[in-house]
Chains A and B, each alone.
Chain A
Amino acid sequence: MLELKNLGKRYKTGDDALKGVNLTIPNGQVIGLIGPSGAGKSTLIRCVNRLVEPTTGTVILNGTDITKLSSSGLRKARREMGMIFQEYALVDRLTIMENVMSGRLGYMGFWKSFFRKYPQSDIDEAFRLLERVGLDHMVDKRADELSGGQKQRVGIARALIQQPKVILIDEPTASLDPKTSRQIMRLISELCKERQLSAIVNIHDVALAQMFVERIVGLQDGELVFDGAPDELTPEALTKIYGEEDWEATIDDVDEGEENVGDQNT
């Protein structure tokens, strides 16, 4: 279980990116975090694994207070939290295998990782995951040779090989076409179910979020303003999160069925 208690972040510039967020995510639950640009979605997931240091509040993962950990404790805790990024964030000049294996760095010593002497069990798992995401035939390719969708699949494999309890997902489909976006979201939600992972998915595409997550949380100006099931996301709720706009088209898409959603530019 992941618990955020009164989580706040004030940047040096004086901006309050997060204002006391309280959120509890049971094991195995995938939540979609929506909200306008600058609402603090990115800051929120980065505060969970302390890529951004929260200024107030606590993050508790299965009983451990992440915010109190020393740097070596934090490294151990980060192994349990996979992360998937908007622009994939693969290291371009490393091979697919090295990129996936970077998910195991927290479990291995420096020289083993320096000479790429990975344990056979890790290599087996990497091949299993790459097979699962459909890329096991290109392990020796460099990351910059892949298409966007393929890169994100490698990003997913890198996060999962950590054997995480939680995955933090920052705009996984923002740079992908509508079809690939849906495939990636489907893959993520299937994998989370298979492995009983909880996940926070930052996502701009409301319709896409409604299709693939079981719970939606709305963030607006650093505060939670919505928390509910995807079908509770009414035009009124969207107005509360994003501000005044004609929301009927966005919602209608969901009612009409899955197949049109991706093509709508909302």
Chain B
Amino acid sequence: MSSRTWKRPPLIKDTTWRYGLLALMALYFVAAFFSYDVNWSRVYEGLDRGWTFIKSFTNPDFTTRWTDISEGIWESIIITVTSTVVGIILAIPLALGAASNLAPKPIYYLARGFIAVARALHEIIVAILMVAIFGFGPLAGFITLTFSTIGFIAKLLAEDIENISKPQAEAVKSTGSGWWQWINYAVQPQVMPRLIGLSIYRIDINFRSSSILGLVGAGGVGATLNTAFDRYEFDTAAAIIIIIIAIVMVLEYLSGFIRARVQ
């Protein structure tokens, strides 16, 4: 007696298509890879410079440029805190508008459109534009990060709002509550842990970004870092990077701790 065999049905039924697509992908990958033009003698020279940079981490120089470093770090922290707070405050109403279960269609599309733009533009691109408008300095960085915080929080918060429990929402609505009461009693309690988690995560992201935006002149410790590289002061650059890593690690630890608490 022959037993019935079974195989998992393939994703693409047609064998020609299935293997043809695989072969094409492999071909493209190989071709793409070999399009890199590697100048091996340049790499050989660069290894030396790279090694000096890495070695400088064993001997970071915090003191020579300490005034510049501390000013840069403070500026980054100021940008981080202000842009995160303002961004979240502005993101909340936008998230309400971008949640399909709350907002009427026109408002929904408007809010989703704004979010799409805010998320499509990378911070560096926005920062270049803001520097062009507001000039060099932390104000440009603050506005840049506020803008991208709005897009980030609003999108993810709106998704959480769309996933709230419908019976809970119905129950509060059925008592004769007004719209804002309904938001406050039925929606807010359900999305609060997510909002807190996202906010803390965003502090982390904004601090890391604020230490990069200086490269295009939007304030923060990035400017100091850039200057250090330009002057080949790798020991000062190493000091700055170590401070950034330390702060990010502290934030990471804090965010884990707080997120575990708010569930």
A contact set with B: CB distance below 8 Å: 49, 51, 75-79, 81-83, 85-87, 89-94, 98, 102-107, 110, 113-114, 155, 158, 162, 168
B171, B177, B182, B189: which has the most chain A beta carbons within 10 Å? B171
B192 and A93 within 8 A (CB) = yes
B170 and A91 within 8 A (CB) = no
A233 to chain B, nearest CB (A): 29
B168 and A105 within 8 A (CB) = no
Interchain CB contact (< 8 A) of B185 among A79, A113, A168: A113
Interface flags for B161-173 (1: CB within 8 Å of A; 0: not) read 0000101101111
Q: Total number of A-B contacts with CB less than 8 angstroms?
A: 89
B157 to chain A, nearest CB (A): 16
Residues in A with CB closer than 8 Å to B174 are: 49, 51, 78, 81, 83, 168
Q: How many residues belonging to B are interface residues under a CB distance threshold of 8 Å?
A: 22
Interchain CB contact (< 8 A) of A91 among B172, B180, B181, B193: B172
- The 13 listed contacts between A and B (C-beta, < 8 Å) are A75-B177, A76-B176, A78-B174, A79-B176, A82-B175, A85-B171, A89-B165, A89-B168, A90-B171, A91-B172, A91-B185, A105-B176, A114-B180
Given contacts A105-B181, A105-B185, contact A92 B176 (CB under 8 A): no
Interchain CB contact (< 8 A) of A89 among B171, B176, B181, B184: B171
| Cβ-based interface call for B186 (8 A) | yes
B190 and A92 within 8 A (CB) = yes
B190 and A93 within 8 A (CB) = yes
How many Å lie between the Cα of A139 and that of B208 in the bound state? Answer: 44
A85 and B175 within 8 A (CB) = no
B178 and A75 within 8 A (CB) = yes
Residues in B with CB closer than 8 Å to A113 are: 177, 181, 184-185
A98 to chain B, nearest CB (A): 7
A85 and B167 within 8 A (CB) = yes
The residue in chain B whose Cβ has the minimal distance to the Cβ of A112 is B181
The residue in chain A whose Cβ has the minimal distance to the Cβ of B184 is A114
B165, B167, B174: which has the most chain A beta carbons within 10 Å? B174
Residues in B with CB closer than 8 Å to A77 are: 176
A48 to chain B, nearest CB (A): 10
